[in-house]
Amino acid sequence: MAKRLGILVGGGPAPGLNGVIAAVTIEARRSGLDVIGFMDGFRWLVEADEQALRNHCRKLHIRDVSRIHFDGGSILRTSRTNPIKIENGIANTLHWLKTLNIDYMVTVGGDDTAYCANEIASGCGDIKFAHVPKTIDNDLPLPDNVSTFGFQTARHLGAVLVKNLMEDSRITRRWYIVVTMGRHTGHLALGIAKSAGATLAIIPEAFGMQGTISLNEVCDLLETSIIKRRAMDRAYGVLVIAEGIAERLDPEVLRQLPGVTVEYDPFGHLQLAEIELGKVIKHEIGKRFGKRGEKMQLVETNIGYVLRCADPIPIDQEYTRDLGYNAVRYLLSRNPEHSSNALIVVDNGRLKPLPFHGMIDRKSGKPVVRFVDVNSETYRVACSYMVRLEKRDLEDKPMLEKMAAIGQMKPRQFIERYQYLIRP
């Protein structure tokens, strides 16, 4: 009887999922394994209903997957079901994997799916796990020059959309507030803004790694960018904000804002889509200029879900083939160094697996988050092309007078009000 490899997709979609499924299936089949695809992530594995589970499993053959790597989405679908949060979820998952004679398991997902895989694997010594890191947020603990699959496609499409908005803002003389995905980090927001030449990008890391972020400070950064841009005779632009800003705003402050509902998902995360950060900021900025007798042309939009099921660009098509192939080779490897359950990393064309225990933060027990390095040259270059208040603006008398006039203040008042925003 052939050994069996199971595969599932957890968490939100990302471009390239089908590429991983295809590569895993093809290499596993070529290696003599049967491949079982579990529909909807852990959704049916956590239940006690065997028939429902069997109805949501499918044998995968090469003919099923040979041309799907071009396509967005996932033939196995996905879900955010969290076995850890469900009563008997881990026990049921272990039971069904053993009942179905699964010898190897490939999970595809982000930090939460990786954490679940780690917890399941720790109680399942006879099944070897490989986790393929997926998220358009690009925040998993891979080597610094290695992106998570899906990120490059999401950045590419996001940059195209923001470029279009840049031109729209120019010819209509209005401002766009664009909120991008990025629960904990600003990789996607910064990548999109830098590529598209957006006016400003605001990411959580710019406010330090810990603690709450002040909504007032966020709005001050945006307001001064608008004021400076107008002082440059450009009364339009696109402001890009990572949704993770909302994650670090004080929940009590959020609850007091009109139209905001504070809710949490099965993994305990704030449901950022329900916060409508763009509308909150639009309201606050509009109110500030309104007090000066101005009606700002502000439009808020969200670039998030539209990116997740895009057809992958060639770099992700190629990358996911490498990841899927290497996941299978790792699982079948007899190399003693490849005996543990691991995160599959391909760095400079070579497999460099990261053991599960190496990606877990000892203090939190959760996967380590990779943040944007705000001390890097990459970040400095991005900031140098943004329109943001700088020390030299306050030292340039004509510029200072223009900005102060737009803000309806005296130069000294403008300095006292906003100089705290100046980066060291």
Boundary (domain end) residue, out of 340, 359, 378: 359
pLDDT of residue 356: 86
Specify whether 224 is located in the same domain as 294.
yes
For 352-376, write each residue's pLDDT tens digit.
999 988 888 877 777 889 999 999 9
**pLDDT exceeds cutoff 90 at 421:** yes
Same domain assignment for residues 178 and 298:
yes
Q: Examine the pLDDT at 254 and tell me if it is beyond 90.
A: no
pLDDT given at position 111: 85
pLDDT at 271: 65
Two tokens at 392? Answer: 């030299």
| Together in a domain, 305 and 316 | no
pLDDT digits 0-9 by tens, 218-241: 999 999 999 999 999 999 999 999
Q: What is the mean pLDDT of the chain?
A: 94
C-beta of residue 379 within 8 angstroms of C-beta of residue 407: no
Q: What is the CATH number of the domain that holds 201?
A: 3.40.50.460
Q: Are residues 161 and 287 in the same domain?
A: yes
Give yes or no: residues 11 and 101 share one domain. yes
pLDDT higher than 90, residue 157? yes
Q: Which residues pair with residue 6 across a beta bridge?
A: 36, 105
Domain boundary among 359, 374, 396: 359
Q: Is 137 a catalytic residue?
A: yes
Beta strands in 181-322 (DSSP E): 200-202, 237-242, 298-303
Together in a domain, 289 and 324: no
Q: Which of 34, 71, 137, 316 is catalytic?
A: 137
Q: pLDDT (tens digit, 9 = 90+) per residue, 85-97?
A: 999 999 999 999 9
- Does the pLDDT at position 110 exceed 60? yes
Q: Domains in the chain: how many in total?
A: 2
Q: What is the C-alpha separation between 156 and 136, in angstroms, rounded?
A: 11
Residue written as token pair 């299978």: 328
Q: Is there a single domain that holds both residue 180 and residue 79?
A: no
Let me know whether 128 and 175 are in one domain.
no
Same domain, 66 and 81: yes
Higher pLDDT, 331 or 253: 331
Q: Summarize pLDDT for 293-327 with one digit per residue, the tens.
A: 999 999 999 999 999 999 999 999 999 999 999 99
Query: Which pLDDT belongs to residue 363?
Result: 77
Q: What number is the average pLDDT over the span 201-226?
A: 96
pLDDT band at 268 (very low <50, low <70, confident <90, very high): low
Cα–Cα distances in angstroms (integers) from residue 257 to residues 262, 281, 300, in the given order: 10, 11, 17
What range does the domain containing 137 cover? 4-149+312-359
What is residue 204's DSSP assignment?
Answer: G
Report CA Rg, the chain. 24
What pTM does this model have?
Answer: 0.93
pLDDT at 337: 83
For residue 412, tell me if it sits in a domain.
no
pLDDT score of 118 more than 70:
yes
Q: What is the pLDDT of residue 275?
A: 76
Q: Can you give the CATH number for the domain in which 54 is found?
A: 3.40.50.450
For residue 88, the SS3 value is coil
Query: Among residues 62, 68, 80, which one has the least CA distance to residue 12?
Result: 80
Q: Are residues 40 and 124 in the same domain?
A: yes
Confidence band (pLDDT; 50, 70, 90) for 259?
low
- Is residue 177's pLDDT more than 60? yes
User: Final residue of a domain: which of 299, 326, 359?
Assistant: 359
pLDDT at 272: 56
Assess whether 289 and 162 both reside in one domain.
yes
Q: Are residues 165 and 293 in the same domain?
A: yes
Q: Taking 70 as the threshold, does the pLDDT of residue 267 lie above it?
A: no
What is the distance of C-alpha 302 from the center of its chain? 14
Q: Inter-axis angle of helices 377-384 and 187-196, to 10 degrees?
A: 50
Helix ranges, 351-390 (H): 377-384
pLDDT of residue 262: 66
